[in-house]
Amino acid sequence: MREQIYRFEEGQLVLTGGGEGVRVSAELAAAFVAGDQLLISGDSLLHVPQSEAGMVSAAVEAADDAFSDLAQCSDKAISSFFRSFGSALTLAEVREQILAANAFDVADAQRRGRSTTRLEVTQQMLDDMVAGLNMWSEIDMRRDETVDTVQHAGWDIEVRRAPVGVVGFVFEGRPNVFADAAGVIRTGNTAVLRIGSDALGTAQAMMASAVVPALTAAGLPTSSIVLIESRAHAAGWALFADRRLALAVARGSGPAVDQLGGIARSVGTPVSLHGTGGAWMIVPSTATPSWVEPAVAASLDRKVCNTANVCCIERSAVDEMLPVVVRAVAAAAAEREATAIIHGDEELRTLISQSAAADRIRTEPLPEAGLGHEFEWENDPELSIVLVDSIEHAVKLCNEHSPHFVVSVLTDEPELVERVYASADAPFVGNGFTRWVDGQYALGQPELGLSNWQGGRLLGRGGVLSGSSVHTLRLLAQFSDPTIRR
């Protein structure tokens, strides 16, 4: 029998599964009141005030109602929404509203010592959003598309694509994700969004000036996309604990994403997590400087999830290849008028200090977390370099320590690329710069996020989650002979 919990006592034991438990802190005991929620993720107790839970529940209910109404809207109307959304973002007055709200968000974040690398909206970012929305408008993705037919004597079965329902998103303060998340409407789904608190003002301006007007103009339910207007982390927790979600998508830092994933899984909601990033590069002994140098430099142009994080160089080629890699890292730093940071063992740091490009480089020991540490740099490119005995050694280190995400072997030898592809446990493998890993750039479809294989390989889809990926399958049996029976 389920009972309402009205209060907790300091030190009270709460079971978290597997016979283990966590003690209630004095802070939680004092803050918890009747009507609040207590969620469990791993060994953490998460307090959701009633006000946050109610706000989130109302948002999900609105999106759930919109899902039923959206089923009555045509694919033409959905395409019109994307065109209208994109068109709105080209208007000077709309851009002024969004940029003004964003300037306030950026200034506020700076006052609080927060990172603004991904928060700032630029004209180019808005142009990229328009391009993505135009892609969505042109994609032929009918919700009842027949993907297979199985024929029998007297009857056939059609396997048809179908929407899944309400998709919940929690993502870091990157306002451009709006264009990506809107893609779920392409396949007839609705979305509830909770953006990072730093970008809430920007998101509110984008909803008011572009999203809602575009939904209205296209004749779609205005709750097809709902923004949770809360800065509290508890709103994200409550969203992922809502059993009405068909899919939960989280983008952000590794620990936060893992926590959210744990909440969603605890209530049985499928998750798509896009947390820990950092790409690995392998420089073989047969590599050529003309191949390695531009690939390394292009992989460090800015810090995002597909930025180079670890570079493995075959030891037998260290005298030739290390200066090339260092020169490329220094070039990436010079473009930003910055100083790069390279982590490595004592031997490698000594060799780097003798490099001609050392004036743009600062060396530091490997982080305590080792090769699994993802560097979150603002302006100074940062990565680890490690010397390996062979390609197999490099792949072994990658499989043991990387987030199982992006691997690039810098060579034009197809057989070597295939060797790495066969043995590296990662969804994205290439032989050039690592920043190609992007749905819009590589596949011509705006991405909802990129998944690594750190939490296990994905079932039935690739590492790029796109709006066209968010679907399920339904079966329709068409009988021409009513006498058929088993």
CB 197 within 8 A of CB 209: no
Confidence check: pLDDT of 456 > 90: no
CB 53 within 8 A of CB 33: no
Positive or negative, the Cα torsion across 436, 440, 445, 451? positive
The enclosing domain of 215 has a CATH number of: 3.40.605.10
- Mean pLDDT within 297-309: 95
- Mean pLDDT within 251-260: 83
Residue 345 exposure: Cα atoms within 13 Å on the Cβ side: 6
Give the span between the Cα atoms of 342 and 362, in whole angstroms: 6
Which of 277-286, 302-311, 456-465 comes out lowest in average pLDDT? 456-465
Give the span between the Cα atoms of 285 and 296, in whole angstroms: 16
Can you list the alpha helix ranges (DSSP code H) found in 336-369? 346-353
- pLDDT tens-digit profile of 160-193? 999 999 999 998 878 888 777 888 898 899 999 9
pLDDT score at 93: 97
List the helix and strand counts (H, then E) for the chain. Answer: 15, 21
Domain identity same for 193 and 65: yes
Give CA torsion, residues 192, 104, 172, 431, to 10 deg.
Answer: 120
Give the pLDDT band (50/70/90) at residue 85. Answer: very high
Residue 472 within a domain? no
Query: Where is the domain boundary, 440, 462, 480?
Result: 440
CB 257 within 8 A of CB 35: no
- Mean pLDDT within 246-271: 88
pLDDT score at 1: 45
Residue 435 within a domain? yes
Average pLDDT value over all residues in the chain = 91
As a residue count, the chain comes to: 486
Domain identity same for 265 and 325: no
The enclosing domain of 299 has a CATH number of: 3.40.309.10
Q: Could you tell me the two tokens for 401?
A: 């320590």
pLDDT score at 4: 64
Domain identity same for 250 and 301: no
pTM metric for this prediction: 0.86
Count of domains for the chain: 3
* Region label for 154, one of left (φ > 0), alpha (ψ between -120 and 50) or beta (otherwise): left
Query: Where is the domain boundary, 231, 250, 274?
Result: 274
Domain identity same for 114 and 132: yes
- pLDDT tens-digit profile of 378-414? 899 999 999 999 999 999 999 999 999 999 999 999 9
Q: Could you tell me the two tokens for 81?
A: 């929404």
Domain identity same for 225 and 296: no
Residue 473 within a domain? no
pLDDT score at 18: 65
Residue 164 belongs to domain spanning:
52-274
Domain identity same for 379 and 298: yes
Strands 37-41 and 44-48: antiparallel
Domain identity same for 252 and 158: yes
Domain identity same for 36 and 69: no
Domain identity same for 342 and 403: yes
Domain identity same for 269 and 369: no
SS3 386: strand
Side by side, the strands of the sheet bearing 166-171 are 225-227, 190-195, 166-171, 245-251, 271-274
